[in-house]
Amino acid sequence: MKFAHALLIFLLHLVPAAHAADAPNIAAAADLKFALSEIAAAHARAGGGKVSLSFGSSGVFRRQIAQGAPFELFLSADEAYVDALIAEGRVEGPGARYAIGRIALYIPNGSPVKADNKLRDLAAAAKDGRLKRLAIANPEHAPYGRAAREALQHVGAWEAVADKLVLGENAAQAARFASSGSAQAAILPLSLVRADELAGKGGFVTLPETWHAPLRQRMALVKGAGEAARRFYAFLQSPEARVIFVKHGFVLPEAGK
Q: What is the pLDDT of residue 20?
A: 43
The Cα–Cα gap between 139 and 215 comes to: 13
- Cβ neighbours of residue 111 closer than 8 Å, sequence gap 6 or more: 184, 185, 202
- How many domains does the chain divide into? 2
The answer to whether residues 71 and 16 belong to one domain is yes
The Cα–Cα gap between 96 and 75 comes to: 9
Inter-CA distances, 13 with 10, 17, 20, 50, 100, Å: 5, 7, 12, 20, 43
Chain centre to alpha carbon of residue 212: 17
The answer to whether residues 171 and 125 belong to one domain is yes
Q: What is the pLDDT of residue 181?
A: 87
Mutual orientation of helices 227-235 and 33-45 as an angle, nearest 10°? Answer: 110
Q: What is the pLDDT of residue 129?
A: 96
pTM: predicted TM-score of the whole model, two decimal places: 0.88
The Cα–Cα gap between 55 and 75 comes to: 10
- Cβ neighbours of residue 254 closer than 8 Å, sequence gap 6 or more: none
The answer to whether residues 150 and 163 belong to one domain is yes
Question: Would you tell me how many other CB atoms lie within 10 Å of the CB of residue 200?
Answer: 9
Q: Which domain holds residue 131?
A: 101-211
Q: What is the pLDDT of residue 199?
A: 86
The answer to whether residues 203 and 237 belong to one domain is no
The answer to whether residues 89 and 30 belong to one domain is yes
Inter-CA distances, 152 with 49, 91, 144, 226, Å: 42, 34, 12, 42
CATH at residue 120: 3.40.190.10
The Cα–Cα gap between 248 and 34 comes to: 8
The answer to whether residues 222 and 199 belong to one domain is no
Q: In 3D, which of 221, 220, 185, 222 has the Cα closest to residue 205?
A: 185
- Is residue 143 a contact partner of residue 100, using CB atoms and an 8 Å limit? no
Q: Torsion angle, CA of 201/205/210/214, rounded to 10 degrees?
A: 30
Please, what's the b/e burial string for 83-93 (b: 16 or more CB within 10 A of its CB; e: otherwise)? bbbbeeebbbe
Amino acid at 94: P
The answer to whether residues 166 and 252 belong to one domain is no
Q: Collect the ranges in the chain with pLDDT lower than 70.
A: 1-21, 255-257
The answer to whether residues 129 and 91 belong to one domain is no
The answer to whether residues 50 and 115 belong to one domain is no
Amino acid at 246: V
